[in-house]
Amino acid sequence: MDKTHLLASKILQGVGGEGNISKLENCMTRVRVEVHDDGRLDLTSLKTLEGIKGYLKQGEQHQFIVGPGAAAKVVDAMRALLSPAGEPVQNDIARNKATAKAKYSAPMSGALRKLADVFIPLIPAFIASGLIMGIINLLKRPDIAGSIATDYPNVLGLLAIFGGAVFAIMNILVGVNAARVFGGSQAMGGVMAGILSSPALAQITLFGETLQPGRGGVIAVLLVVALMCWLEKRLRNLLPESVELILNPLMTTLITATLAIVILQPLGGIISDGIAHGVNIAIDKGGLLVGAVLAGAFLPLVLSGLHQGLVPIHVELIQAHGSNPLLPILAMAGVGQVGAAIAVYMKTRNKRLKKVIKGALPVGILGIGEPLIFGVTLPLGRPFIGACLGGAVGGALICYWKVATVITFGISGLPLALTIISGKVMLYLAGLVITVLAGFIFTWLMGFNDPEE
């Protein structure tokens, strides 16, 4: 049995077996489990499993961090395995993360987590799209790709189609996922999003105004699908069983679609425009100060769970302007952790801590910061503050230089450079290096209490 199946079987045993699982899914780095009876969980054993890099609980959901690429494999193996097996190895990162999340979790984090769950399944598509757009930008540069762009225009055209496909059906995907998260019919969620995005809306005039397809973007879709799910559940309880199957989807569609066109889509448009314009004005006019505040405060937001509320904002910025200036700023928060961890590595005499840093630094550089945060800087205290200050320096510069990416979210750190808009790549890399140095210097000057072996 390989390591993935070994870990999967042990997690199944630790959560009380398949019979205790009510919901099983994954994001980029985490196995997410909801159970019927928390009392049957053996969290002590689960936290110490080899391959489990951290644990946290948000709402009813237990989240086990296994790393990028591994989460999907472990979940697939869990769905296929029945018998438990595995070897536990002590891992302090899990304990530190669970403690931090319990201490700093904000009251709204559960609701915002549900909102983020709508977009988490879309992350692979966002990553692929962003990287393809980055490849197109490189191929268009004569100093890098020569005359490829002019010699093979059809190739670039196809790549543009590949990279833009996710945005062509963005509202549909969000509608389907939102219905799943809100407990409604996924097909109906897609239908509601399709109605809002239909090109035929441009041929209709209502109250003296021509309707606008796609107005309000994902914000309007979320509002409409939330109403649809609520109405669908109410009608399921009110209608007789003999006609519910026929009348429920009919009435839900007619009522929700009418309210969507008349009220919710215009409201979503106002909110969407306000978010997109507000963020861009703040970044354009705020410069160094706004960038420093955004990047410096981002990791505390992660601890509280409130960062999940930023996910729709990333999507709205791409839909409204075709680029996202917010993500590169926030990415500096994780880069500051790298500098802080290097300072800790050079100062500490604790062999176990050095080993943790060695394992966490490579993935930290690649944009996966959780092992550094919960295994190194946060438990030590002052290095976490030093990392935040370093991130603030980088965020200020990235905002001042007006660096933006063509991706919504999903990648960070060094790989994000591949998705930065043309002409800003070197500035992003310069900001990344400066942020590492700033995090290092702040942490070195502030020091920390070196833990005993």
Most confident residue range from 109-113, 286-290, 308-312? 286-290
User: Residues 178-184: contacts with CB within 8 Å, 24+ apart?
Assistant: 178/118, 178/221, 178/222, 178/225, 178/226, 178/229, 179/225, 179/228, 179/229, 181/114, 181/117, 181/118, 182/114, 182/225, 182/226, 182/229, 182/230, 183/229, 183/233, 184/225, 184/228, 184/229, 184/232, 184/233
- Mean pLDDT value across the chain: 83
Question: Residue range 135-145: average pLDDT?
Answer: 79
Q: Please check the confidence at residue 192 and state whether its pLDDT lies above 70.
A: yes
105 or 23: whose pLDDT is higher? 23
Q: Please check the confidence at residue 427 and state whether its pLDDT lies above 90.
A: yes
Question: Residue range 169-194: average pLDDT?
Answer: 91
Q: Which of 72-86, 164-178, 225-239 has the lowest mean pLDDT?
A: 72-86
Catalytic-labelled residue, pool 27, 229, 388, 399? 27
pLDDT digit string (tens) for 207-254?
888 888 888 888 899 999 999 999 998 888 888 877 887 898 999 999
pLDDT for the residue 89: 34
pLDDT digit string (tens) for 377-415?
888 888 999 999 999 999 999 999 999 988 777 778 888
Q: Please check the confidence at residue 93 and state whether its pLDDT lies above 70.
A: no
pLDDT category at 82 given cuts 50, 70, 90 is: low
pLDDT for the residue 86: 37
Query: Is 27 labeled as catalytic in the residue annotation?
Result: yes
pLDDT for the residue 304: 67
